[in-house]
Structure 1
Amino acid sequence: MSEIKDNIKRGLFWTAVDKYSGQIIAIGISMVLARLLTPGDYGIVATATVFLSFLGIFTSIGIGPAVIQRKDLTQEDLNNIFTFTVIIGGICALIAFGSSWLIADFYGNEVLRPVMQIFSIGVFIGAINMVPSALMSKNLRFKEMATRNLLFQIFFGVIGIAAAFMGAGVYALILPSIASSLCSFLYNNHFYPVRINLRFSFVSIKKIFSFSSYLFLFELFTYFSRNLDKVIIGKDISENALGYYEKSYRLMQLPLQNVTAVIYPVLQPVLSSLQDNMKEMSSKCNKIISMIACIGFPLCAILYFCGEEIVIVMFGDQWGPSIPTFKILSLSVPFMMILYPTGPFFLASNSSKTLFYTGIINTTVTICGYIIAIYIDKTTEAIAWSVSITVILNSINSYFNLYNRVMKASLVPLLKGFIRPMTCTILVFCTYIGYEYMSLHLPLFASLVVKGLIGLLVALIYYNFVGIVNIKELYCLLIRKLKCH
């Protein structure tokens, strides 16, 4: 168990280095691009991404997690699986290229045609990168992946900014990402080389099929819950509205990814060794989700009350219409944060079948929420409310199935872990309400700093009082680190 704990710590550390440094760079790049490009440019990319994500489900078909989970795959098996991804990737890339005319006609926007055609290259690269990328995670090469991602993000981010300055428009968003994907594949394949097998055999595919097939079906169903909102907004409202919504959604995802994206990639590779010990698995789940809740719940209050300052400071006045949508979406942050890790726990427990059935229910709930929202009011705010409400319902369903059907454990310890984070959130909300009554008219940046620090201090003081953190120890640790440098 100590080895698992050490692997989790190492994985979390290097994944955190990757994500946190990457987020700082991404925020800087996004702030520049948002001032050089239009909401319509982001709307076009968001529209294309909806359809490309659908094809991405068919290129992945659960292969990556299946390669991680199976411990008995030979090099011959890996080569056969890689060959299969090349075939599937080529077919899906051709479909993406060929459908570009239909999609452009459907939305009445000719710019979508070349955008889709360029993105088809990314579809193929994403497919062939699955096996090398999974092998990097399987062998816990988190340090190398963190270094790779950071360097690529800086290099291709600078290229994207330069392209935007030169008037590349929407292409400044798509070309650097495709080039980055290609370099990632070459990097991963250097460490864990896989080759096309001219004597391809389906025997290797059958080894992972029982696991990957249910994961593929899960991803297929959840695709609609992840992307139907964008389809509805792009078709029934406007492309500009989709651009504002997409920017709000991405901005809301930034702090969310800072936590879940650090934990998510580590969980399945490390915890797959506990697939025969559900008691220990549930214990790890309780601790991890409690930690995430302590961050997520007060964070939603900070994002909600600082929404206007965050949007304007980061992206400029032209993105003002996205503020109400961002504030509504921020309420879903804690529930998204605790929902995301359920996938790796299902997979690490070797329960992709239960994950699939859970996904069917979640997708049905989400789609119904979108339909009701657009029927009531054709605005991005209505869609945002449906996102926030349905993610709560989906969290309840996911944890019920994970604990009741897979882990055979009680939900009571998990629910007890939510009491203190929710209490902290109430205190932060009340503090902000009191602050707003003071009617201080500060410049936007100063207001963001003050309000952000107020929320952070209230949360830290409360967590120090209940024993979750020790402010004195954190202060001493920070002083020691500063002296070392």
Structure 2
Amino acid sequence: MSLKKQAVSGVFWTFTQQFSMQVINFGVQIILARLLMPEVFGLVAMLTVFVSIGQTLMDGGMTSSLIRTKNPDQLDYSTVFLTNLMVSIAIYLIIFLAAPAIASFYDQEILKNLLRVYALTFVIRSLVAVHTAKLTKEMNFKTQMKLQVPSTIVGGVVGVSMALGGFGVWSLVWLSLSQAIVFTIQNWIFIRWRPSIVFNKRRFKYHLNFGYKLTLSGLLDTIYNNAYRIVIGKFFSPSSVGFFNQAETMRLFPVEQISIVMDKVTYPLFSNIKSDVQLKSAYRSTMQLALFVVTPIMLILILVATDFFVFVFGEKWLPSVPYFQILAIASIVRPISTYNLNLLKVKGRSDLFLKLEVVKKIIGIAVIAIALPFGIMALVVSLTVISYFFTAINMFFSGRLINYSIGEQLKDVSKILLIGVSVAAISYFIYNFLDNIVQSHLLMILAIGLIYTMIYLIAIVVFDRKMIQLIKNLIR
């Protein structure tokens, strides 16, 4: 299969996988949000950082090294597999012992046992990290979809059943754990690859030399992305964490699907492109298409946020609305940052990747410290503002590698952003007019969504012919 066909197939199956999983997860989230109180979600959100850190350290960036390695063999795969397994067990033991101190930090005794069970997730997933990397290397996203969807369904059934049974916060923990267990079992049943009990020091050093920088970068990113939950959990109530976490989850819900598709497809795709001219062309097209899709989705959600939260989750979640509307602005550029960083990995610049992450996170932590005395809303605003600053940094350094200046990049995306914001302004006045007429939250969501989409597409046809041509070329 040609590289172009692999890319198209990869996008299709990865998007199908993400769409299917997130439709299921979204349905489960709605049910659980109505069954459980905000503070329950807040408790689990407090633990997310520790599980995410375990996941990041477990991999060590070595699966990314496998994906970019030309023709990795059984020795490569087995060495990385054994490394992941041993590291995950070691990290779990550290978390297990640290659980009482973590519970004491938040002044929530229940977190001790919750964390000790919840952290098993990344240990279980270490058993299939190489399986997933191998499928990604082969751009076999169809098989990944077939394995992910059933595990997502089982996890959702377990979580909802336990919530109905009165298990409270444990229903969220076992939802994640059951998903990991089912996904792992399926991988070992349906994927033929099996690790050998071999460990090669030379291959280990090769993959670690590339991967450890990505690991440190990922660790910084994980800690920073969860820093807001840590700070809110420490200085505010669990329900405040729950409201913030719901807003953060929902603003990421649409863009994460696109970001994950881009991350999984563009990394192996870009790795196989030899010419910088071709790489620049692929980079430009991907960035424009991402904004073309993400911009209207996020602006529509901002407009109908109140109706959306009341209709989907109920009025008890209304405090999440202002957080969501501000954070959603940051989501517009999130997919761009995702594949910007893939260029650094493709070019083997994991050193630059790490340096950028260190600088950005130092700035980010300083911003959190400045915003904290002014309350949660100030933290939310700071998160949005700094997201755009980080995106600009990523665009600048990634673009330099392929002779694509930040000025060129901004010029290529400015028209889409201008059209999207202009249509949002028009739709805002229409929303205020309909607000006194339409009493149904669902009808308001559908009406504004339809009106915005129609005006947006007409504006694109009239004012951005290059985007229309790009879409036509993609279809062909």
- The alpha carbon displacement at 1:59 in A equals 1.0
1:401 paired residue among 397, 400, 403: 397
2:355 paired residue among 354, 357, 367: 357
Q: Deviations over 1:335-361 (max 9, x none)?
A: 212212222222222222221112122
Partner of residue 429, structure 2: 434
Aligned length: 468
Which whole-Å CA distance do the structure 1 matches of 2:253 and 2:4 have between them? Answer: 27
Q: Deviations over 1:154-204 (max 9, x none)?
A: 22212211111111111111213212212322333442533362x533222
Alignment of 1:18-57 (within 5 A): 18-57=17-56
Shift in alpha-carbon separation, 1:15–1:432, aligned structure 2, 3 A: same
Which whole-Å CA distance do the structure 1 matches of 2:187 and 2:140 have between them? Answer: 10
Q: Deviations over 1:213-234 (max 9, x none)?
A: 2111211222232111111100
Which whole-Å CA distance do the structure 2 matches of 1:165 and 1:330 have between them? Answer: 31
SS in 2 for 1:354: helix
Alignment of 1:269-280 (within 5 A): 269-274=268-273, 276-280=274-278
Contact 1:4 1:271 survives alignment (8 Å): no
Name the amino acid aligned to 2:227. Answer: L
- The alpha carbon displacement at 1:12 in A equals 0.2
Q: Does 2:454 match 1:457? A: yes
* Aligned residues with identical type, % of pairs: 22
Partner of residue 329, structure 2: 331
Which whole-Å CA distance do the structure 1 matches of 2:343 and 2:192 have between them? Answer: 26
Q: After the TM superposition, which of the residue ranges 335-344 and 92-101 deviates more from structure 2?
A: 335-344
1:383 paired residue among 365, 379, 384: 379
1:284 paired residue among 279, 282, 285: 282
Contact 1:222 1:362 survives alignment (8 Å): no
Partner of residue 72, structure 2: 73
Alignment of 1:79-478 (within 5 A): 79-189=78-188, 190-195=190-195, 197=197, 200-274=199-273, 276-375=274-373, 377-379=374-376, 381-404=377-400, 406-438=401-433, 439-442=435-438, 443-465=440-462, 466-467=464-465
Contact 2:63 2:80 survives alignment (8 Å): no
- The alpha carbon displacement at 1:436 in A equals 4.1
Which whole-Å CA distance do the structure 2 matches of 1:298 and 1:355 have between them? Answer: 30
Which whole-Å CA distance do the structure 2 matches of 1:235 and 1:220 have between them? Answer: 21
SS in 2 for 1:341: helix
The answer for unaligned runs of 5 or more in structure 1 is: 478-485
Q: TM-score, normalised by structure 2?
A: 0.93
Q: After the TM superposition, which of the residue ranges 319-328 and 104-113 deviates more from structure 2?
A: 104-113
Partner of residue 481, structure 1: none
Which whole-Å CA distance do the structure 1 matches of 2:18 and 2:395 have between them? Answer: 26
Name the amino acid aligned to 1:453. Answer: L
Shift in alpha-carbon separation, 1:469–1:204, aligned structure 2, 3 A: closer
Which whole-Å CA distance do the structure 2 matches of 1:78 and 1:280 have between them? Answer: 30
Q: Deviations over 1:13-38 (max 9, x none)?
A: 00111111222222111111101111
Shift in alpha-carbon separation, 1:250–1:169, aligned structure 2, 3 A: same
Shift in alpha-carbon separation, 1:188–1:267, aligned structure 2, 3 A: farther
- The alpha carbon displacement at 1:53 in A equals 1.5
SS in 2 for 1:13: helix
Which whole-Å CA distance do the structure 2 matches of 1:407 and 1:469 have between them? Answer: 22
Root-mean-square deviation (CA), in Å?
A: 2.1
Contact 1:43 1:240 survives alignment (8 Å): yes
Contact 1:63 1:130 survives alignment (8 Å): no
- The alpha carbon displacement at 1:451 in A equals 1.4
Which whole-Å CA distance do the structure 1 matches of 2:360 and 2:194 have between them? Answer: 36
SS in 1 for 2:272: helix
Which whole-Å CA distance do the structure 2 matches of 1:412 and 1:388 have between them? Answer: 22
- The alpha carbon displacement at 1:249 in A equals 0.3
Which whole-Å CA distance do the structure 1 matches of 2:432 and 2:317 have between them? Answer: 26
Structure 1 outlier segments of 4+, above 4 Å: 468-471
Which whole-Å CA distance do the structure 2 matches of 1:408 and 1:433 have between them? Answer: 39
Shift in alpha-carbon separation, 1:323–1:5, aligned structure 2, 3 A: same
SS in 2 for 1:88: helix
Contact 2:74 2:195 survives alignment (8 Å): no
Q: Deviations over 1:266-314 (max 9, x none)?
A: 111222112x422221211111001111122333321211111111111
Name the amino acid aligned to 2:239. Answer: N
Contact 1:92 1:123 survives alignment (8 Å): no
Shift in alpha-carbon separation, 1:469–1:101, aligned structure 2, 3 A: same
Name the amino acid aligned to 2:110. Answer: V
SS in 2 for 1:128: coil
Q: TM-score, normalised by structure 1?
A: 0.92
Q: After the TM superposition, which of the residue ranges 187-196 and 281-290 deviates more from structure 2?
A: 187-196
Q: After the TM superposition, which of the residue ranges 259-268 and 61-70 deviates more from structure 2?
A: 259-268
Name the amino acid aligned to 2:193. Answer: P
Which whole-Å CA distance do the structure 2 matches of 1:413 and 1:6 have between them? Answer: 28
Which whole-Å CA distance do the structure 2 matches of 1:331 and 1:347 have between them? Answer: 27
Q: Deviations over 1:73-100 (max 9, x none)?
A: 3212321221111111111111121111
Name the amino acid aligned to 2:176. Answer: S
Q: Deviations over 1:241-265 (max 9, x none)?
A: 0000000000001111232222221
Which whole-Å CA distance do the structure 2 matches of 1:255 and 1:130 have between them? Answer: 25
- The alpha carbon displacement at 1:239 in A equals 1.1
Name the amino acid aligned to 2:250. Answer: L
Contact 1:17 1:146 survives alignment (8 Å): yes
Shift in alpha-carbon separation, 1:266–1:211, aligned structure 2, 3 A: same
Contact 2:49 2:223 survives alignment (8 Å): no
Name the amino acid aligned to 2:393. Answer: N
The answer for unaligned runs of 5 or more in structure 2 is: none
Partner of residue 483, structure 1: none
- The alpha carbon displacement at 1:237 in A equals 1.5
